[in-house]
Amino acid sequence: QKEVEQNSGPLSVPEGAIASLNCTYSDRGSQSFFWYRQYSGKSPELIMSIYSNGDKEDGRFTAQLNKASQYVSLLIRDSQPSDSATYLCAVNPRGGYNKLIFGAGTRLAVHP
């Protein structure tokens, strides 16, 4: 079992719709969770971090964390073509000394 799992996609949504990206992790003791956006040929850009159960909203982005079920999700409201990118889920494992374990990423395509 991979430590951090994501559906590779592509996830295709129409412009204006809600894109829902999911991630599961294996280490129940993980404490910190992050979503990065990576455009083709670019480095990852941090867009959301979440540390406690529940929802965290930032503009059009909402991160959701459920530690009991060991999943974290990212919702993108009013999706735009500029949101088309690969979204990477990253987890700081228990005893991980600040290191991050990345999922394989989900490719999102927003079509006009």
Query: Residue 100 is which amino acid?
Result: L
Options 87, 92, 108, 110; binder of other proteins; rule CB under 8 A:
92
Residue from 27, 49, 70, 109 touching other proteins (CB under 8 A): that is: 49
Structure-block tokens of residue 29: 């003791």
* Rounded to 5°, angle at Cα 86 from 82 and 87: 100
Omega before 10 cis (within 30°)? yes
Question: Is 43 a binder of other proteins (CB under 8 A)?
Answer: yes
Range in contact with other proteins (rule: CB under 8 A) among 16-24, 30-38, 60-68, 73-81: 30-38
Binding site for other proteins (CB under 8 A): 31-32, 34, 42-46, 49, 51, 88, 90, 92, 97-105
